[in-house]
Homo-oligomer: A and B are copies of this chain.
Amino acid sequence: MSSSPLDHYESLKEAVKQTEGHDSDDVSDALRSVCAASFSFLQGCRPVQLTSQVPDKSYFSFKDRNNKHSRAVNPALFVEDFTLVDDFLNAVKTESFEALSPEDTTKACYTAAMSFCATVDLKKSGDKKSPGTFFEYLVGHLFSKRLGVNPRKQLKVLNLDMDAKLPTDFIFDLGQNRPKFHVPVKTSTRERVIQVWAHQRVLDGVYGTGRFSGVFVCMNETKTDKRKSEVTEICLPKQWRVYQLFVAQLKRIYYLDVPEKYAELNEVFPKIVVLPFGEFFREADELAE
């Protein structure tokens, strides 16, 4: 119980490696320990209000004793009581997904992911990798439990005289005559997002359009100007529409903290379905049909 969040993170990495899967009880327990230790660590830090330039959203950051600040946290999604996260992770472990509403699921996931990310911001310097990897493990675990199948991270490309292995994001293969999901995971996108559409394009090209459903999972798009303590959201909706028209089609984009500019894409042509992550648990069976 006295281990630090970062020690628990090391155990999580080991659990993912040992079990070669993302749906094991070991991974489930390790994820819970990371989240609980991080959440508890943040209780000893002071929340500091930030100036939000994002309409209808407020943000704060955690400040530690050395005056170091974490990334921006949305209090409408970050719960004050760890019980909700605990209930959610238990529901996932026992695969009783009906227990929670999509709204509570989104909050539980946001709190779980943000607890560790904010902790790394405070406890380490310049570590961008651990938050990204942790978020990937979290989403990998949730998808594999919800879909009932473990992901792969490599695909064979057979092309006559050429035999290459394509490293990919998560691939969840539900078996013959059922969909396969291509699931890229990122904490935020900025200018790198074209990769997501480009990977989908490669899969469409190699295996035929429609064989893989592209489902992109992302945390948020906030950016904090530390000097001004100001939070903005960096969004490029027009470019997303160009990519959706001319590179490939993504089936779903889930955010923990949905940027309004992207939510608006549900209403225009080409329609891009952007939803809070909790909705995935509700509609997964539908998507998997």
Contact = CB atoms under 8 A, between A and B. Distances in A.
Nearest to A237: B164
Contacts of A192: 192, 195
A195 B164 CA distance: 20
Contact of A195 (B198, B238, B241, B242): B198
A48 interface: no
Given A239-B166, A242-B157, A242-B166, A202 B247 contact: yes
A41 interface: no
A245 B159 contact: yes
A161 B269 CA distance: 9
Interface residues of A, number: 28
A157 B239 CA distance: 10
Interface in A148-164: 157, 159, 161-162, 164
A243 interface: yes
A194 B205 contact: no
Interface in A189-212: 192, 194-195, 197-199, 201-202, 204-206
A164 B198 contact: no
Contact of A202 (B162, B205, B243): B243
Interface string A227-257: 0000000000011011101110000000000
